[in-house]
Structure formats: C-alpha cells, structure tokens
Chains A and B, each alone.
Chain A
C-alpha cells in the first residue's frame, strides 16, 4: 500500500482543520473496511487519512421527537443489535444484519458505509424506505438532507471536501407501519446482493388501503434509488394482488442495472420486479410492527 500521512483528530473542529490542510488529497476514515480495501487495490491513493475513530460524540444511538439518531461512528454490528433500533426500526435491523459478515460489521460504521457511496450496499435500501436523513457537517456549519438527495452517481455523493457525514436521522414509522426486506443472493451468503429491496408501507385503519409507500432499491444502478413510480401506484390504492403486481412492474423502468458477475442487466431488471413484489407481499403478510427475527 502506498505511503500516506495519518491524522487522528480528537474533535470535529480538529478534523475539519486536518481535512482543510490536505484538501482533496485527504480522506476521512473510520472502520476502514471500504477505504483500506480500495487503497490496497490501488483504487484510492489519498495523501492523508484523517481518522475519525477518536472523535467523541459520534457513536451514540438516541431517540427523541419521533426520530432515532445514529452517530456516524456506530458500527453496523451495533446498529444491528441495538434494542431501540430493533424495537422501533426492525427494517433497519434486518438490513444491517445482511451486510457482509460479522467480522466486517464489527468494523464498518453506518456513516462510513453511506459516505462510501457504493450503490450495492444493503442499508441504503432500508434507509430510503424509512425516509432517513443525513447530517453533513463542516467548518462552515451543518445541513441535514434527505438520503434520497445524498447520492449523485457511482461512488459519488454530495459531500463536499472538508464535509463529514456525522449523523443519520431515521423517523420512527407510525403505528400500523409494515415493512419488507429482501436481499437476493444467488451466490454466497456474504456477497453483495444481486438486487436488494426494502419497502415500508402505512395502511389505513382497515388494512385494505395503502396510505403511504416507500420503496428503496440497491444494486440496480449507479446509486441507491427510490422507486417512485411504483410507490405512486400503491399510494391511496386498495391493496390487491393485482395492484402489487402492477406496482412492482413499474420498477422495471426505474432501475438501471449493469451486467456483471451477479447477472445480466435484463436478469436484474426481472429480479428487481420480482423481489419488489415479494417484499410488498412480505410486508402485507406481517402483523403490524412485526419485529425482526431474534437472530444474532
């Protein structure tokens, strides 16, 4: 691996200063499972790593005002096992549980995972379905934006040089919310998905009509996406098997998959449609507020 400088700031202010000193040649690092890998492969050659590992205050999980906040340094594993997340955001528990292996989840952070901008990760599908927001902070101040405005292109986000993703904000779903999550893995259990889809539905009092629907998909294009046309078919409609089928069919033209080891673009389009429908069915088959399976 190439030589680089290493900075270990103790506060966000020190981190901003270190990032400013090296400009675009600096890269923030936390768990390292993404960036160190890219550096080992020669795909990234930052002149300076600014470690966020010693910065206090970025590792908390808290709930207030109907929102659960996860500090950027919370590991995937901790998010997966956190009882508050498990009770209020079981969809998120399920998504984090499916990332790579325990060994990777122990190191990879929730903030780093998003900032990495990899379109084939699992958590963004769930976070998009949950309408999550991300807090971006820099020496100039902070801004909070919806996650669906965060991604720009393949491994590219709206983060500016000197700006850090410091927190995730996830609204707690209303009572009666349902969810579905499917990571379609035709190869090995620790692989990236061929298609990952998460759905969050809110039904009316009778359970027959859909009040709100959000669908997040990853692995099917240059960025994680919301399937907005499929959502529009569901919103306000009576939930029949035909309607679910029609909604899922909309996904075919919302995804932009590329052919790779995990399947051809055509195959992935078919699978995106199929697994969106199944995730919707999964959501409707659940009792409201269904907790995730008790698995470690």
Chain B
C-alpha cells in the first residue's frame, strides 16, 4: 500500500495530556508511539514490560481510566486526556499495595517478569469484584501468562489480597467462597 498523502514528520507529532500514577504529563508523541513504549522510554516507567507484543501474554497490562488494557496494542495518543496507572503507581511511599504484599508473601512470583502485569490485572479484578471466587480469578487472570508455571501461587496471592483488602483479620482471604484448590493452597501456605 502506498501513501497517497506524504506523511510529514512535523505534522505527525501530537501533543497529549495524560495523567500517569496521579502525575500530569504534557508530552509530544508521534502517533505510532505505543503506550508501553511511551511509559518505558518517554517517562522511564520500566516496571511495565513488553512480552509477546501481540496482546496475548499480559506483561504490558496497565489500567487506562481504571480498565486494564494491553499497552502493547494501545497507541499513546489513545490515552490523551486519560488516566494511566502502572505498577509504579500502586505503592504509597514505602508501603506496598496489598496485592504486591501478598504476591511477595505467598509466592505469587518466581522469576518476576510477568509480575507487574499479574499484579495490575489482580488489582483491576479486585477493584471490580472484591470477592472473586477461585473460578472468577482464573477466568480474569487467564490472559496473564506465567512461564514459571506459578499459577497456584498467583491464584492464592490474589485470594489473600482480596481478604486483606476486605479488611484485616478476615482470615487473610481464607473465606467460604474459596474453592477446593484455594483451600488446598491455604493448607500448603499454613505449613
């Protein structure tokens, strides 16, 4: 396909306003800048990773206006006027978000490469549904691949985080809504 109108590089640059982790940015970007690259290379927020680059693996998951999206398939210009939350935006000072804490405490990550995407997906889930069943967690998280095969621990970490977010002392996530595998994971963790 040939271009009938010559793309002028100067004309192509767009000015966008975007709030990332609560901080306002006004930037010039080319339309072909992907959100993942904008975050990593223009803003230096390298917590968001790119894996497959085709929207399948979940590494690049960020929240755009509260909804999780694949930043590898999102143009930065799509986020103009919007709010983006990345893994760097979850902790408050030195205090980690409960989802982050639970991934650490319950072994939700091994090598760590999928972890920022897993945690952002888990946060989006718990924002949407504070009391997910094990089945709902699996269905929601199925687009986040872990090649260390740490899925049991990931599911458990999300269950624990759900419990912690519902309020301290709620059995740390070991609730009646847990399925058999969750209960098994709970027993393993108790050892």
Contacts and interface: CB of A to CB of B under 8 A. Distances in A.
Interface of A: 1-6, 8, 21-25, 32-33, 36-37, 39-41, 44-49, 51, 53, 77, 100-104, 106-107, 188-190, 295-296
B32 A295 contact: no
Interface in B118-173: 121, 124, 128-129, 132, 135-136, 139-140, 142-143
Contacts, number: 116
Interface of B: 1-5, 7, 9, 11-12, 14, 30-32, 34, 53-56, 58, 61, 67-70, 72-75, 77-78, 121, 124, 128-129, 132, 135-136, 139-140, 142-143
**Residue in A39, A77, A101 whose Cβ sees the most chain B Cβ within 10 Å:** A101
A112 to B, nearest CB: 12
B154 to A, nearest CB: 15
A3 B77 CA distance: 13
A102 B12 contact: no
Contacts of B74: 32, 36, 107
A101 B142 contact: yes
Given A33-B70, A104-B70, A2 B142 contact: no
Given A4-B31, A100-B143, A32 B4 contact: no
Given A23-B4, A48-B5, A103-B68, A36 B12 contact: no
B143 A104 contact: yes
A3 B72 CA distance: 16
Given A33-B55, A37-B73, 8 more contacts: A32-B75, A37-B55, A45-B1, A47-B3, A47-B5, A102-B143, A103-B61, A296-B129
10 interchain residue pairs of minimum CB distance: A101-B143, A6-B31, A47-B3, A106-B67, A1-B32, A25-B4, A36-B73, A189-B142, A103-B68, A45-B1
A3 B30 contact: yes
Nearest to B62: A103
A6 B61 contact: no
A49 B128 CA distance: 32
Contacts of B129: 296
Contacts of B132: 296
